[in-house]
């Protein structure tokens, strides 16, 4: 039972980080109807910037600058590429984001090289115990920060003018435009927010128990993508639920790897995708996604 509770707590903390990344996927899709595959490189950019700037600037200034740089990169992608292709087929926009992701990723991997860059988190790599359950301080703080950001996002999404404009654009883009909502501005702000969430997620993903910043951090965003699909690509609440489900699934599958050895080594890495496929077979639009109706 202690092992199960420990895996469950660590899975929830990992799922909270995944939820931040999945929220980025969802708000970009709701604002611009683009399935963005640039999140992996944006996440790695945020982690790399913080790691490089931590020594000359200090931890907190490096985090601030890293978050701003990631948000700026996301904004430039939207302004210079996505905005100019507005109205293009969805598949074309998705392929364009894949191309941008490959370009950014290739340059970042070249800059990082074979080294593992460390971010000097003030809380270090120590663990804490809650009863008999252990969890790293990094993951515990990540849960708290992710919770605050997620609550702040949902409040802004429901009550701010930007949130109302995004919901109106997602519901009926043409009607929203006729009502004076500037969809380009809504889309740009959505990309900026997604970049900020990716950088914050990166800050905690490269902390304990992860050894540091390496090219492998890119794959984390790919594991967060099933969370967005699982919850429903047009559902912000679904991103939260999907992130938690994927995090718990991954932690439990890795923790009980010996009992699941008949499924093959490394099953924990593919478990999120297995869960996503199973759910989509039952609910193609995701757990909370909008089911499209076609009249014939």
Cis peptide before 139 (omega within 30 of 0): no
Instruction: Give CA–CA dist 75/296, Å, rounded.
Output: 40
Mean pLDDT, 10 residues at a time, the chain of 296 residues: 86 93 91 88 94 94 96 95 87 92 94 88 83 85 94 89 81 74 87 95 88 82 85 89 93 84 76 89 86 48
Q: Which residues pair with 117 in a beta bridge?
A: 213
What whole-number distance in Å separates Cα of residue 226 and Cα of residue 241? 11
Q: Which pLDDT belongs to residue 295? A: 41
Distance CA 204, CA 63 (A): 11
Number of separate domains in the chain: 1
220 domain-assigned: no
pLDDT value, residue 109:
92
What are the residues facing 157 on neighbouring strands?
none
Looking at residue 296, what is its pLDDT?
Answer: 39
Residue 204 to residue 224: CA distance in whole angstroms: 14
Closest CA to 218 of 236, 204, 200, 205: 205
Say how many CA atoms lie within 13 Å of 282 toward its Cβ.
Answer: 9
Residue 49 is assigned to a structural domain of this protein? yes
Give the pLDDT score at 292.
Answer: 57
Predicted pLDDT at 248: 93
For 72, the domain range is: 14-215
193 inside domain: yes
Could you tell me if residue 113 is inside a domain?
yes
CA atoms within 13 A on the CB side of 195: 24
So what's the pLDDT on residue 64? 97
Residue 198 and residue 42: Cα distance in Å, rounded?
A: 7
pLDDT of residue 148: 95
Q: Is residue 9 part of a domain?
A: no
Tell me, yes or no, whether 7 lies in a domain.
no
Residue 190 lies in a domain: yes
Residue 93 domain flag: yes
Q: What is the pLDDT of residues 217-227, one digit of tens each?
A: 888 777 788 89
């Amino acid at each position: 039972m202690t092992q199960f509770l420990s895996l469950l707590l660590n899975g929830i903390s990992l799922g909270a980080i995944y939820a931040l990344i999945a929220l980025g996927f969802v708000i970009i899709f709701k604002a611009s109807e683009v399935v963005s595959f640039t999140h992996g490189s944006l996440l790695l950019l945020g982690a790399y910037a913080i790691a490089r700037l931590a020594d000359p600037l200090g931890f907190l200034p490096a985090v601030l600058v890293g978050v701003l740089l990631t948000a700026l990169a996301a904004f430039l992608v939207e302004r210079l590429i996505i905005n100019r292709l507005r109205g293009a087929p969805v598949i074309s926009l998705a392929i364009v984001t894949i191309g941008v992701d490959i370009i950014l990723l290739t340059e970042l991997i070249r800059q990082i090289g074979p080294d593992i860059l460390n971010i000097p988190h003030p809380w270090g790599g120590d663990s804490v115990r809650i009863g008999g359950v252990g969890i790293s301080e990094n993951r515990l703080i990540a849960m708290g920060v992710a919770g605050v950001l997620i609550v702040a996002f949902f409040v802004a999404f429901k009550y701010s003018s930007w949130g109302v404009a995004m919901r109106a654009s997602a519901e009926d883009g043409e009607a929203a435009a006729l009502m004076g909502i500037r969809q380009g501005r809504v889309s740009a702000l959505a990309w900026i927010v997604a970049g900020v969430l990716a950088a914050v997620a990166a800050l905690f993903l490269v902390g304990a128990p992860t050894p540091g910043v390496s090219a492998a951090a890119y794959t984390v965003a790919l594991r967060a993508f099933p969370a967005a699909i699982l919850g429903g690509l047009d559902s912000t609440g679904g991103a939260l639920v999907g992130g938690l489900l994927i995090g718990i699934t991954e932690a439990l599958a890795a923790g009980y790897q010996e009992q699941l050895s008949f499924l093959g080594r490394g099953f924990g890495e593919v478990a999120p995708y297995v869960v996503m496929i199973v759910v989509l077979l039952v609910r193609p639009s995701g757990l909370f996604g909008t089911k499209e109706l076609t009249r014939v």
